[in-house]
Chains A and B, each alone.
Chain A
Amino acid sequence: MPIDKIFKDDASEEKGERARMASFIGAMAVADLVKSTLGPKGMDKILQSTGRGHSVTVTNDGATILKSLHIDNPAAKVLVDISKVQDDEVGDGTTSVVVLAGELLREAEKLVTSKIHPMTIIAGYRMAAECARDALLKRVIDNKENAEKFRSDLMKIAMTTLCSKILSQDKEHFAEMAVDAVFRLKGSTNLEAIQIIKKPGGSLRDSFLDEGFILDKKIGIGQPKRIENAKILVANTAMDTDKVKIYGARVRVDSMAKVAQIEGAEKEKMKDKVNKILAHGINCFVNRQLIYNFPEELFADAGVLAIEHADFEGIERLGLVTGGEIASTFDNPESVKLGHCKLIEEIMIGEDKLIHFSGVEMGQACSIVLRGASHHVLDEAERSLHDALCVLSQTVNDSRVLLGGGWPEMVMAKEVDELARKTAGKKSHAIEAFSRALVAIPTTIADNAGLDSAELVAQLRAEHHNEGCNAGIDVISGAVGDMEERGIYEAFKVKQAVLLSATEAAEMILRVDEIITCAPRRREDRM
């Protein structure tokens, strides 16, 4: 009796052991892929897109690497997803989370082959994750009260984050920049307010944080290049031809003379608008949309600086910085809030002219100008800086910090090991495996730095046997050292997110015992 096919033609089904194998292998392959980028001595990857131009990206950022991969294995997709979420949520630790999840699955695979049920492993992992988190909570340092110390904490966190990136040469410089920028936000996590302008040329060291605000635009012709005590109107309005917005309106004329008349009226209308704008008593006008030549000329005549085509974020930032509101109607000049700044001038960076607003009132937004040898360098520098900014802005809100350099993993591993000893039953194997997976992270860091990982980790473990030990791996000197002295700090929030989402992902993949792949959707043939 032949059993009829249940699925459609191209659909496939994998069951039991095979399904589990497929997902373990897929997940581990992805983890191994990004493993070599972990830590201060981690290597970069070159990504070449298959799209037009075959553009090339060089990066060290786990989330960026994984995002650009075309992956078919469903389990691997889960890992890509957690890395993306980590990026959105805390910004850093995107590689660690994948590596940890991969290690957890690697350990789970061993347990499954020794005939332990996946559900038992999950139960053990859950207990272990809970215990590891408590262990971290016990050892956090919180310097929220002490502003000076807090700042130095932030500096250290920024330096730790940056040291694994391309910016590691100038990490102090960039850490300083990032910390200053984040302090400007005053607790807001809206990183949109920090503008990063990339200009090729010069070296990374020439990058700077501007105390004012820089707009990547040109000043209209014949308008003043330098304005002191500027009053700025930030607007979002059409300065080309003001369309009639009433639906169905159209112009119908029967003679050339009328055309001229209407054109005149249109011009008059624009002139009116410009006059209304000028009535605000401004000397700088920034618009989101185009400004046509005619109104631009009018502005120039009035000696007003008109900047067109600032993008939406630019406008928003400018509003934040100068304290002006974004206006679209101009009938009540007395009640519109204008922006102020001490000085507007045109500056040159490399070959490009930019507009610089300095002496701004609010200063909630700021600009960072990155300089570097090539676009690739700049792109990577931007990503690294973005990571640092994300971590810092999150830390400002949740000020708990931890030591870095594999220290948190060792602390967790020790507690989890102890839990394993206390737990009866098969679960203890899983808990033990969890601690092994945790230790894999410092091992990888050491391996990537070309150090003797077995020796170092063993030493570290011995050190951690003492209560209150601060030992971690110092990759630069290649030995075990006191992390507090060396100033290697990490944000608690990042570590916690790594721990929890890696466990969650591993659990999810472990629970699967069957993979059903649907037939790929048929693309319409163009023939």
Chain B
Amino acid sequence: MALAFDEFGRPFIILREQDQKTRLRGIDAQKANIAAGKAVARILRSSLGPKGMDKMLQGPDGDVTITNDGATILEQMDVDNQIAKLMVELSRSQDYEIGDGTTGVVVMAGALLEQAERQLDRGIHPIRVAEGYEMASRVAVEHLERISQKFEFDNDNYEPLVQTCMTTLSSKIVNRCKRSLAEIAVKAVLAVADLERKDVNLDLIKIEGKVGGNLEDTELIYGILVDKDMSHPQMPKQIEDAHIAILTCPFEPPKPKTKHKVDIDTVEKFETLRKQEQQYFDEMVQKCKDVGATLVICQWGFDDEANHLLMHRNLPAVRWVGGVELELIAIATGGRIVPRFQELTAEKLGKAGMVREKSFGTTKERMLYIEHCANSKAVTIFIRGGNKMMIEETKRSIHDALCVARNLIRNKSIVYGGGAAEIACSLAVDAAADKYPGVEQYAIRAFAEALDSVPMALAENSGLQPIETLSAVKSQQLKENIPFYGIDCNDVGTNDMREQNVFETLIGKQQQILLATQVVKMILKIDDVISNSEY
């Protein structure tokens, strides 16, 4: 690193402990960054599409995750490189925003970086490349809007939604029963959706999993499933027409927040205290009973005595229910969460048509079903599967499908999948390039080429000849001017994605292109990397 001197010839210290840091600058820095970004993209490339492969990740504690979901792979990977971390962030933000297409966005960014490298070799300034990409991405997004189609659906006719969810699920390990899972996801989303406001609160959909059984046993429960059982083994296992008291106070003597002490110094006091205590328990149970509750769900534990009193008075109870579940139960049953026994009234009770305990397998595992609720705005998807990794992967897949369905409710537009949208954009961007004077033109063309890489990866993963297939589809699109032709990954025999029913959401695709462009621009603008060298 060059030294700087002031007017008296003394050296400045620009960077502390220079010799311990490595520094890359100029074109080298850009090249190194691009290489790192590409390396990450390469890992994900083979996971793209319905024939994409999975990754097995072994965590720091030896736990195994097998997944196909881009965001999960990157999250669990022990990434150290700064640029690679940017890519991880990229996939994560796609996951938060859209929920699907997390692999695609990274592959897209990788392709953009690769093309950028070529432009840099030609001597084009990185900022010009970045600007060209920006223009191109705008063209692409507008073109997507143009070729998108609107879906009409309502609560009875949700077939288009199911088809779109199936496209998402087909790339996962669960594609064996994608139809039933897609239907479950769509029904769940429709159950909690607010079609007026076009909004879906995914928090209302609870995903529970339990190993055992097989994937086909996965079910949608219009109600809540709690991984708890009755507090006393002899309480009834099934309650019809339950009135539920939802409590956040323990069935225990009160514990005032302020510090205090009760001194016992005489026998009388001892006696009264004892009486008080008994009375207290009695009152608590009586209160619940008085308002007409037939089931008590409590966030805290019970004292043995209280437990028996509850049992004795024929009031089944569930203890140690988590806060989130408690809220869901309150929403589903239309009850109110009651923080103090004094405030318990009949109106605050939740109502459910059926509460039952169900046991699984040979071990003593039981779960509590709360069904036929007063307000069916909260649902549970209960996943079964052969092993733990399968359940985890199914949870992730269902989450993706839920997100897709939500996005469609927000915005009804769809584009065609199987790379069709990318090819159409690529054609549009390529055509637009000629209109721009200046160096950016090259960058825009590079962008078009990068767009091709997604269908190329799809074809490659499906065992097709990538270049041959892509050029065939491209010419077909151009000749007939129809943006529905994509890669025939499943070997069905037609390139028409309308016939194959492969759809993706418009906002998902747009977001992919925008996010990828943004990150690539950011990476291109870096021209100096200073990092602590390792000793």
Contact = CB atoms under 8 A, between A and B. Distances in A.
Contact of B265 (A1, A72, A254, A505): A254
A23 B54 CA distance: 13
B493 interface: no
Contacts of B62: 72, 77, 520
A246 B263 contact: no
A245 B254 CA distance: 9
A394 B304 contact: no
Contacts of A88: 211-212, 361-363, 365
Given A85-B386, A519-B60, A265 B270 contact: yes
B59 interface: yes
B56 A89 contact: no
B507 to A, nearest CB: 29
A517 B262 contact: no
Q: Is the interface of A mostly helix, strand, loop or mixed?
A: mixed
Interface stretch (A36-44, A149-157, A187-195, A219-227): A187-195
Contacts of B253: 245-247
Interface centre among A247, A261, A335 (most CB of B within 10 A): A247
Interface in A52-95: 72, 74-75, 77-78, 81-82, 85, 87-91
Given A246-B273, A516-B56, A504 B264 contact: no
Interface string A485-527: 0000000000000001100110110011111111111000000
A1 to B, nearest CB: 5
Nearest to A254: B265
B81 A521 contact: no
A504 B79 contact: no
B261 interface: yes
B362 A91 contact: yes
Nearest to A234: B234
Given A6-B81, A11-B78, A518-B59, A89 B270 contact: no
Given A236-B308, A325-B311, A328-B305, A521 B364 contact: no
A269 B254 CA distance: 22
A102 B290 CA distance: 61
A117 interface: yes
Nearest to B259: A248
A422 interface: no
Contacts of B39: 3, 6
A251 B263 CA distance: 6
B405 interface: no
A508 B263 contact: no
A8 interface: yes
A215 B253 CA distance: 34
A89 B212 CA distance: 6
Contacts of B363: 88
Interface stretch (B29-37, B135-143, B472-480): B29-37
**Majority SS of interface residues in chain B?**
mixed
A248 B261 contact: yes
B312 A251 contact: no
Contacts of B36: 3-4, 6
B80 A85 contact: no
Contact of A248 (B31, B54, B79, B260): B260
Given A89-B362, A393-B362, A518 B58 contact: yes
A484 B390 CA distance: 37
Contacts of B58: 74, 515-518
B434 interface: no
A458 interface: no
Contacts of A300: none
Contact of B264 (A8, A190, A250, A316): A250
A513 B46 contact: yes
B266 interface: yes
Contacts of B205: none
Interface string A144-175: 00000000000000000000000000000000
B89 interface: no
Contacts of B361: 88-90, 189
A516 B77 contact: yes
A250 B308 contact: no
19 contacts: A6-B39, A6-B40, A6-B80, A85-B388, A189-B359, A246-B253, A250-B262, A251-B264, A265-B270, A265-B271, A266-B270, A327-B308, A328-B304, A331-B278, A500-B214, A504-B385, A512-B56, A513-B54, A515-B57
Given A246-B253, A246-B280, A247-B256, 15 more contacts: A3-B36, A6-B36, A11-B77, A72-B62, A245-B252, A246-B276, A265-B267, A269-B270, A329-B305, A332-B312, A336-B312, A504-B214, A508-B389, A511-B66, A516-B76
